[in-house]
Amino acid sequence: MVLSADAKNYYLDVPAQFWSEDSLLPLAEYLRLPLKDTHDKLPFLWTIDEQRVLHRILPNIMLTEICRERLDAWSFVQDFGGSNNYHAKVAAEQERTEAAVETEKKIAELEVKHQAELEQVRQQTAAEAMERLSAVLMDLDPLSVLPSGKAVKAAKPEELTPMKSAEQNLAQLVEDTEEDEEVADEEISEEAWLETFRCTTCNECTEMSPAVFDYNEDKQAFIKDINAGTFKELVLAAEECPAKCIHPGQPLNPDEAGLEDLIKRAAVFN
C-alpha cells in the first residue's frame, strides 16, 4: 500500500534504517504503557505495499490519542458489564483464596482422623494377636484361638523351645497341626463316607443303591450299609451326586472286577 497524499497528513512511513526495537512499539503495546513511560517511545502500525514489502508507519499524535480514547471507552464498557471488572476480580481472587484455605483445612483434618483410625486399628490388632498368642501358650480353648477356626493341638511345655520367640512357637504349633490334619485326611479317605449335611436330597444315590444309601430323619442321605453294595456302586453314586458329597474311599473287596479303573475314578472324589 502506498500512502496517499491525504494519508501522509496522518501517517509517517519510517525508513527501514530507522527501525529501532527500543523506541518503536506496536500501537497496541504503546497504548498499554503508562503515559509517563511513553516519552521516548513512538507507536507504529504494520503495512504492506503493492510489492509486498512491509512498512512501519507512525500515526500522528491526534490518531494515537483517538485510539487511546477508544481503548479507555472499551475498558469502561467491559468494566460496566462485569468483564474485567476490578471489584469482580478482587472478589473472585478472595473466593479462590478462601476455598484453598478451606480445602487445606479439610485435608489436614482428614489426615489427623486417618492417622487416629490407623493407630486404633494397629493397637487393636496388636492386642488381639497378643491375646491369641497367650491363649495358645496357656492351652486355652484351642478351637477359638485361630482366625481360620482350625484346631490347634495342645502344646507340651517341652515342645516350646525357650530360645524361640512366642511367634515362632505359635507358627510351629500351626504347622504341626496342619501336618496332623493332612495325615488324618489321608486316613479318612480309605473308607467310604458321605457328607450328609451337604446332601440336597436328589434321590440319585438312594434309588441307585437303596441297600447302601438311605435318608435320615432330616431327609438327607447317609451310608446305611457299606457292605451291602459294590465299590462300583459307590463310585457311580459319587459321580452322579450333584452335591459331590459322596467319597467312595478304597475298595473293601480286592477281588472286585475292574478295580484299577474304579480306583482312578474314585480318587477324584476322595
| Binding flag, residue 169, ligand SF4 (CB under 6 A) | no
Q: State the Cα angle at 211 between 208 and 212, rounded to 5°.
A: 80
81-89, 122-130, 151-159, 198-206 -> range binding ligand SF4 (CB under 6 A): 198-206
| Binding flag, residue 25, ligand SF4 (CB under 6 A) | no
**Backbone dihedral angles phi then psi of residue 51, each to the nearest 5 degrees:** -90, 10
Q: Which is nearer to ligand SF4, 133 or 215 (CB)?
A: 215
| Binding flag, residue 235, ligand SF4 (CB under 6 A) | no
Binding ligand SF4 (rule: CB under 6 A), the pick from 173, 221, 223, 234 is 221
In whole angstroms, how far apart are CA 10 and each of 47, 54, 59, 60, 67? 14, 18, 6, 5, 13
94-102, 113-121, 205-213, 253-261 -> range binding ligand SF4 (CB under 6 A): 205-213
Binding ligand SF4 (rule: CB under 6 A), the pick from 155, 192, 206, 223 is 206
Strand partners, 223: 213
Quick count: other Cβ atoms within 10 Å of Cβ 177? 17
Binding ligand SF4 (rule: CB under 6 A), the pick from 152, 246, 262, 266 is 246
13: Cβ contacts below 8 Å, ≥ 6 apart: 3, 55, 56, 57
By CB under 6 A, name the binding residues for ligand SF4: 194, 199-206, 213, 221, 240-243, 245-246
